[in-house]
Amino acid sequence: MNVTAREVPPRIRLVAWSKGDLGLLRKKNTPEMTEHLGGPEPEEKVLSRHATYTAMSARPADEGRMFRIVLDETGEEVGSVGYWPRIWQGEAVYETGYGILPAFRGRGLAVAALRAVVAEARAAGGPRRLHAYPSVDHTASNNTCRNAGFTWAGEVAFEYPPGTWLRSNDWCTDLGEQVSPAACRS
């Protein structure tokens, strides 16, 4: 009998961002990690971003959260994921961002982290939709959104970093109790 083994999803934990996570943020501030985000940031911007992420952990969850992603088997930090409120096309939504360190890519960790952050955003009780805006040229990130169950809502012009416009894909998931992919197209 020929039995095909089912792939087991990776086991990760999301841990609220804290003062001790500056090193992880610096690991993510490399040309390889920021290729589709405008390149590495200067140290003062990294420190400012770290302060923002840390402060998010002290605010109510509906105001957003940033997490470090920890691999259950080893306790290793493998990346980060988060969500935060924004206004998109006149509607209050959440935006998400994520990144897996190069040494840990190809294991399904980004998909697992994105699914976990969807659950966190849903539990926060804020906006009904969560959007991701990867560059149209970032194949891996677009595949992550698709594999995590997001719905493609179209190609858009997206400003990131401030003052720089990118061609991005708008991926969306509905955070309501009854998930409706059609809701992301409206």
Query: What b-and-e string marks burial along 63-100, b requiring 16 or more CB atoms within 10 Å of the CB?
Result: ebbbbbbbbeeeeebbbbbbbbbeebeeeebbbbbbbb
140-176 per-position pLDDT tens digit: 999 999 999 999 999 999 887 788 888 999 999 999 8
Q: What integer pLDDT is reported at residue 19 of this predicted model?
A: 96
Q: At what angle do helices 109-124 and 139-147 cross, to 10 degrees?
A: 60
Question: Bridge partners of 173?
Answer: 130
Domains of the chain: 12-185 (3.40.630.30)
Q: What integer pLDDT is reported at residue 136 of this predicted model?
A: 95
Segment 86-104 shows an average pLDDT of: 95
Q: What integer pLDDT is reported at residue 5 of this predicted model?
A: 47
19-76 per-position pLDDT tens digit: 999 999 999 999 898 888 888 999 999 999 999 999 999 999 999 999 999 999 899 9
